[in-house]
Amino acid sequence: MSESGRTPATSGSPDLVSMARFLGSTRAEGPGERTAVWVQGCAIRCTGCFNPHLWSVRGGEPVAPAELVTRVLDAGTDGLTLLGGEPFDQAAALSRVASGVRAAGRSVMTFTGYRTDELHRAAEAGRDDVAALLGETDLLVAGPFLADRIDRVRPWVGSTNQEFVLLTDRMADSLAGLASTPDRLEIVVGASGRVAVNGWAAPDVLDELLADLGTRLPTGSSASACRPHADGSE
């Protein structure tokens, strides 16, 4: 598929989300306190992606959209952030999740490695699933990760080509202070010694932090990309 004309894959079931990770509360994946859901599977496969373990469509936890809505609302946060993997590769199921979350008055922020023009072109060509997820997203963060264009200024994004696109007014205030909003990195060391990381830091900074903890992330589980994510242990 050419760089100029990628179309979201349809790898997922419309009735099940293939979920890689659920994080009930975080302040590192968008404005305010949010619930984050990483999905399994990404057809884009950017060079330099830190999350190749999320490329395969195999390995995710299948979750019904209604169940995931309940889990998100029970978390009691400001809203939901969808990250990848690639959310638009399973847009049908995720649009149902996003719809339920928004119907309860919460916001939805969606990260994607597709460009906005690719998504709108797919929607206009009849991809109702893509149109539905766009229609249930308040803030879209769009574009592939480009390893030679690391963004060290804006929060939440991995590279300078990625753009914030407000699709509704619900999260408009969150972009007002973007220039002064720092990136955050959350590191949780569990009782078993398992290190779970989310948020964004440049890879060298992340490695330095983890070295202080006496560990390094396994290959393929470092800070990322279309949206930073890392978890793992050694």
Residues that bind ligand SF4 in the complex, under the rule CB under 6 A: 42, 44-46, 49, 51, 54, 84-86, 113, 144-145, 225-226
Please, which residues have CB within 8 angstroms of residue 100's CB and are 6 or more apart in sequence? 65, 66, 69, 72, 73
Nearer to ligand SF4, 57 or 225 (CB): 225
Nearer to ligand SF4, 82 or 97 (CB): 82
Taking the complex as a whole, how short is the minimal distance between the CB of residue 171 and ligand SF4, in angstroms? 21
Taking the complex as a whole, how short is the minimal distance between the CB of residue 212 and ligand SF4, in angstroms? 26
Contact between 141 and 163 under an 8 Å Cβ cutoff? The reply is yes
Nearer to ligand SF4, 46 or 119 (CB): 46
3-state secondary structure of 151: coil
Residue among 100, 103, 128, 104 at smallest CA distance from 17? 100
Taking the complex as a whole, how short is the minimal distance between the CB of residue 137 and ligand SF4, in angstroms? 16
According to DSSP, the β-strands at 107-112 and 79-83 are: parallel
Write the burial class of residue 55 (CB in 10 Å: 0-12 exposed, 13-18 middle, 19+ buried). Answer: buried
Taking the complex as a whole, how short is the minimal distance between the CB of residue 151 and ligand SF4, in angstroms? 13
Taking the complex as a whole, how short is the minimal distance between the CB of residue 113 and ligand SF4, in angstroms? 2
Nearer to ligand SF4, 78 or 89 (CB): 89
Consecutive H or E run containing 94 = helix 91-103
Q: Which two tokens stand for residue 196?
A: 């779970």
- Give the largest CA-CA distance in the chain: 51
Nearer to ligand SF4, 73 or 146 (CB): 146
